[in-house]
Structures are given as structure tokens and as C-alpha cells.
Amino acid sequence: MTPTITAFERSPDRGQGLARDMRVRWALEEVGQPYHVRLVSFKEMKESAHRKLHPFGQIPTYEEGDLTLFESGAIIFHIADRHAGLLPDDANARARAIAWMFAALNSVEPPIVERSTAVLLERDKSWHAERLAIVEDRVQVRLGELSSRLGRADWLDDAFSAGDLLMVTVLRRLNGAGLLEKYPNLCAYIARGEARPAYQRAFDAQLAVFTKLKSRGLA
């Protein structure tokens, strides 16, 4: 059965591949699973029909037959569990790849999201500069730790896995922040992820949503 995912009708990132449906698109492309996309407006996301799929009124969601999922990590784990290509066969390597999925979402993404919140929503506050400095220090700590662990390796644990897929998408949220440049191995790691044909197909599909809006004068 072809799954259906949800994505922003008008992504605030203007097609830069930062909205979290990008992770799901990338995972589906990696495993060669075709998918449908239902675009939702910000208004629709908060309505009860969408909240039945996603209790927090967000994207992405994933529907496949009787199954409905929310949370990008859970969706990607489901895809990786059902298809070959995103988690190793060896039980211990698989467990380590899953640990990297959690690390991306639980240890690395939170300070990065905090930083985005500070930049996007707290600019007008008197304490903005002070808080941003604190939050950016937290991001730097995590980047330094991740950079040390990655070292000269191509991927976090031997072969590319769902852990790398999530980590690359999480790190990409720092594009333009001027924080990644201190870590050339992390920049190269992100570039390796972005160079994967499956990533490119996912990125192009997400960008096409924005390009279409723009061509109609709606963006």
C-alpha cells in the first residue's frame, strides 16, 4: 500500500528542505518506497480532522492502510523497520543505529530548536542577545562532542543508517547560523548526506511545492 504523508502547503523555509517532512521523504526515497503527499495549511493543521492524525496539530504524519503515525522519528523507524536499507541486519549494529536516531532527536536537535526559537520568536525581547549567546553555547557543546565522535569517519557507525539520516537533517537546521563552520568534518558529513541520490530526490520534491506556489504568484 502506498503511504501518504503530510507536508506544509506553504513551508516557512521556502523549500530549503528544513521542514520535517523532508526526513520522511528522504527515508522513503532511500528504501525505494513511492508515497503520496497531502499538503496542509497552518489552519488545517490545527483542525480536528488533522488532529486525529497528529495530536499536536503538526506535520509530518504518515498513513498506511490502518496505520497512522506522527513524530518524524517514529515514522522513520517504522520505514526502516519494514524495508531494507536504513538499519543494519546485525542486531548490535542495528541497536547502535537506533541509538543514533535517538541521539539526533533527543540530544542534538533540542538545543538547535531552542536556538531557532530564540532567533525567530524572541528577537524583540530585551534579553534576546544574552539568551541567544547561552543557547548557542549549548549548541556548540553538542557540535564539538559530535565532531569528536565522528572524527574522520564517513558515517556515525560504519554504514549509512537512519541515525545518519536524522542527524544530517537535524544539523541542516543550523544552515546560515555560522556555527557549523568550526567543524569541517560535520560540514563534510552533511554534504555527504546531501549528495545521496535519495536525498536529492526528496529535496527536489519538497522544493517543487514551493516553486509551484511561486509560479502562481502565491509565495
Ligand X SMILES: N[C@@H](CCC(=O)N[C@@H](CS)C(=O)NCC(=O)O)C(=O)O
Q: Which is nearer to ligand X, 58 or 161 (CB)?
A: 58
Q: Does 15 bind ligand X (CB under 6 A)?
A: no
Among 59, 69, 103, 171, binds ligand X (CB under 6 A): 59
Angle 208-31-13 from CA coordinates, rounded to 5° = 30
Report in angstroms how near the CB of residue 36 gets to ligand X at its nearest: 18
Helix, strand or coil, per DSSP, at residue 83: coil
Q: Which stretch binds ligand X (CB under 6 A): 67-75, 162-170, 180-188, 201-209?
A: 67-75
C-alpha cell at 133: 549567546
Q: Which is nearer to ligand X, 121 or 134 (CB)?
A: 121
- Bridge partners, 67 (sequence order): 64
Considering only the stretches 68-76, 132-140, 148-156, 175-183, report the one whose residues sit in contact with ligand X under the rule CB under 6 A.
68-76
- Separation of alpha carbons 76 and 20, rounded Å: 11
Describe the crossing of helices 184-194 and 128-150 by its angle, rounded to 10 degrees.
80
Which stretch, 56-64, 78-86, 179-187, 189-197, contacts ligand X (CB under 6 A)?
56-64
Which one of 15, 17, 20, 64 is in contact with ligand X (CB under 6 A)?
Answer: 20
Is 45 or 183 the residue whose CB approaches ligand X more closely?
A: 45
Distance CA 196, CA 108 (A): 22
Interacting stretch for ligand X, rule CB under 6 A, among 70-78, 117-125, 141-149, 151-159?
70-78
Question: Taking a C-beta distance cutoff of 8 angstroms, is the pair 79, 86 a contact?
Answer: yes
What does the DSSP assignment read for 140-176?
HHHHHHHHHHHTT-SSTTSS--HHHHHHHHHHHTTTT
50 binds ligand X (CB under 6 A): no
Pick the closer one to ligand X by CB: 72 or 161. Answer: 72
**What stretch of H or E contains 62?**
strand 61-64
> CB of 40: closest distance to ligand X in angstroms?
9
What residues make contact with ligand X under the rule CB under 6 A? 19-20, 45, 58-60, 71-73
